[in-house]
């Protein structure tokens, strides 16, 4: 482990964390636990975990104290912006609730591993989400 952190229920490698998300009542009900988890920590290449009683913003502050920089989004989610390799709008199916707005791909530079995550934040609210397209700038095919 490069940066171990005890989150209460386990020790995880904070250096692998790419996203921190609030836990909804609906999600908490599916966890089959008597704990009151409020936040989910997601990590590439290793297990993340759940945190009780702390909102995402407080978890982000704690990570900053050990040198792990995450960006808090307007949606209440947090991401490791430096690891973003792709952002696109989320396409929901007609029969599903519209809980998400973006799909973000992260790549851990230390391991090379990649993962996709779904976020409530819109693409333009995510660092890099407003980046112009090379095809648009160059007047590419169909422009």
- Identify whether the C-beta of residue 102 lies closer than 8 Å to the C-beta of residue 84: no
Torsion region of 139: left, alpha or beta (phi above 0 gives left; psi -120 to 50 gives alpha)? left
Q: What pLDDT digit, counting tens, does each position of 75-127 carry?
A: 999 999 999 999 999 987 777 777 899 999 999 999 999 999 999 999 999 98
pTM reported for the whole predicted model: 0.86
Closest CA to 77 of 38, 120, 46, 43: 120
Q: How many residues are listed for the chain in this entry?
A: 143
The domain locations on the chain are 4-131
The whole-number pLDDT of residue 86 equals: 92
Query: How far apart are alpha carbons 83 and 85 in whole angstroms?
Result: 6
């Amino acid at each position: 482990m490069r940066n171990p952190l005890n989150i209460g229920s386990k020790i995880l490698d904070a250096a692998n964390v790419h996203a921190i998300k609030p836990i909804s009542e609906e999600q908490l009900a599916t966890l089959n636990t008597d704990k009151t988890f409020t936040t989910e920590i997601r990590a590439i290449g290793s297990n993340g975990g759940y945190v009780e009683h702390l909102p995402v913003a407080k978890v982000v502050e704690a990570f900053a104290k050990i040198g792990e920089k995450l960006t808090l989004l307007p949606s209440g989610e947090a991401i490791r912006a430096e690891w973003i390799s792709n952002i696109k709008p989320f396409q929901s199916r007609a029969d599903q609730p519209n809980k998400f707005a973006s799909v973000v791909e992260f790549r851990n530079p230390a391991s090379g591993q990649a993962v996709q995550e779904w976020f409530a934040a819109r693409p333009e609210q995510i660092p890099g989400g407003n980046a112009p397209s090379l095809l648009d700038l160059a007047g590419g095919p169909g422009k």
